Chains A and B, each alone.
Chain A
């Protein structure tokens, strides 16, 4: 297979591009996503929610290469046998590239590691509530919080929101979350790249990234939705992109009204925030 640009040997087939032109393509897609949808500028302080996995590592690498002011923020949820190795990857990536890194943990900030908090609940929901709260708290002072969501993640979210009949979530910002007081806007500069493109780029750039899968992920709805979508995509290539495009068309980020949580000061939909009420429920007194 030949590169569609230079006729050299292709390393990727959809689009058919050689190593050099494939990497250029990935960087161009990210740049266009950032600029076209006004995600952030070169003056902004860009905080990347990083895990050591391929998506956030590619986000750090590409955004730094494009000249943005990136820093990394990682949450150690306390998932034994998983997070230690992904954080080791992240540390070596940040060391190599001189990217400032902060790691905050559930153990210190919430009062217990995720493994001790689950107690028969759905781990991904418990984890999600505290992760969001900690990322927002520690990204304060930055202009945006980047997440590594790719096109596959986005197409899964669209289908999940339809399944859960959550039209509000479907409309609530696709590439950029609405801005609100006390809330650092979340942006997704990789959302127009397929998971396969992201993995290929990480491989070609030799990024130290962990290929581990969270031990809790298998129990999640997302995992099943992904299998269904992979099957559809194989039968009808382009389907994931169409789903994500549909969300892009209906998304109309409106400023939501948050009030400050009286316990932690974070954003809340009135009264005590979800993270503080869940912690109270799970651990009793706040640490």
Chain B
């Protein structure tokens, strides 16, 4: 599946079966991102499919 990290704009691909393993794969703590699967906000237990488009929104303030 395609994974886009925002706001950095970094793009990568992954075969992780669910959100939790996707985050572990990239050493991201669940509290540091929001996960949007096909436009919908999802929790860590959400299963992922090869055709999914996932956006990881980093939690940080711009000031």
CA distance A54 to B41 in the complex (A): 17
Smallest CB separation, B6 vs chain A (Å): 6
Residues of chain B with a CB closer than 8 A to A195's CB: 59-61
Smallest CB separation, A161 vs chain B (Å): 18
CA distance A213 to B32 in the complex (A): 16
Count of interface residues, chain A, beta-carbon cutoff 8 Å:
34
Docked-complex contact B44 and A212, CB < 8 angstroms? no
Docked-complex contact B34 and A210, CB < 8 angstroms? no
CA distance A195 to B63 in the complex (A): 12
Residues of chain A with a CB closer than 8 A to B62's CB: 51, 53-54, 86, 210-214, 217
Q: Does A237 contact B (CB under 8 A)?
A: yes
Interface residues of A in 216-232 (CB under 8 A from B): 217, 222, 226, 230
Select which of B7, B29, B43, B63 is within 8 A of A11 by beta carbon.
Answer: B43
CA distance A51 to B62 in the complex (A): 9
CA distance A210 to B60 in the complex (A): 11
Residues of chain B with a CB closer than 8 A to A1's CB: 43-45
Residues of chain A with a CB closer than 8 A to B42's CB: 11
Docked-complex contact A203 and B34, CB < 8 angstroms? yes
Select which of B29, B32, B61 is within 8 A of A53 by beta carbon.
Answer: B61
Q: Does B36 contact A (CB under 8 A)?
A: yes
Smallest CB separation, B37 vs chain A (Å): 11
Interface residues of A (CB under 8 A from B): 1, 10-14, 16, 19, 51, 53-55, 86, 150, 152-153, 195-196, 199-200, 203-204, 210-214, 217, 222, 226, 230, 233-234, 237
Q: Which 8 A/B pairs are nearest by Cβ-Cβ distance?
A: A211-B7, A11-B41, A1-B43, A234-B29, A53-B62, A13-B43, A214-B63, A213-B62
> Other CB < 8 Å A-B pairs besides A199-B57, A203-B57, A213-B7, 18 of them?
A11-B43, A19-B41, A51-B62, A54-B61, A150-B61, A153-B61, A195-B60, A195-B61, A199-B34, A200-B34, A210-B62, A211-B57, A211-B62, A213-B60, A214-B62, A230-B29, A230-B31, A234-B29
24 sampled A-B residue pairs with Cβ under 8 A: A1-B44, A11-B40, A11-B42, A12-B41, A13-B30, A14-B31, A16-B43, A53-B61, A55-B61, A152-B61, A195-B60, A195-B61, A196-B31, A203-B34, A203-B36, A203-B41, A203-B57, A204-B41, A211-B62, A212-B7, A213-B60, A230-B32, A233-B31, A237-B31
